Amino acid sequence: MHFRIAVLFSLFLFNNSLTASGTFIYPPDPPKKTVMVKESTFQMGKRLFERVFRTGNSCSTCHSKSADQKFRRRSLHRTINKFLPWLNKCVLDGKRIGGDQAYSGESLEYQSLRLYLAREYRLLEYLK
């Protein structure tokens, strides 16, 4: 009888030693990347976002935080570095904005608009 109790007790101790091997310590979060933003560049992006084109529309007409097709932070963080084709499609379409020319990836206007959106949606750490 004592032998059975001793065996059961040793099995209990062995089982608990496998499952409770100690405290797990999570590794620290990586340091956040600090992005320095010139206020003039940010203001330029804001002006471009709110600029009314010849169709009477602006980017903020459709994509402001209270609009129907608003940007969502969850999806914008994946495309903040590669949304130039969508921007040019919207700019050149006569039913949307109807701008005169497409933006290039290196243009100051595109970079400032991208910076404005990243700062507005708290995505500065995703900029490349």
Residue-wise pLDDT for 44-98, tens only, equals 888 888 888 777 888 878 887 777 777 788 888 788 778 888 888 877 776 777 6
CB 69 within 8 A of CB 59: no
* 106 has a pLDDT exceeding 60: yes
pTM over 0.75? The answer is no
Conformation bin of residue 56: beta by default, left when phi > 0, alpha when psi is -120 to 50: left
**Structural domains in the chain, sorted by start:** 39-126 (1.10.760)
Q: Tokens in use for 73?
A: 């932070």
So what's the pLDDT on residue 9?
66
Q: 34-37: which pairs have CB atoms within 8 A and are 24 or more residues apart?
A: 35/118, 35/124, 35/125, 35/127, 37/115, 37/119, 37/124
So what's the pLDDT on residue 72?
80
Q: What is the DSSP string of 61-84?
A: HHHSTTSTT---HHHHHHHTTS-H
Question: pLDDT tier at 116 (50, 70, 90 boundaries)?
Answer: confident
pLDDT tens sequence across 11-57: 666 655 555 556 777 888 776 666 677 788 888 888 888 888 777 88
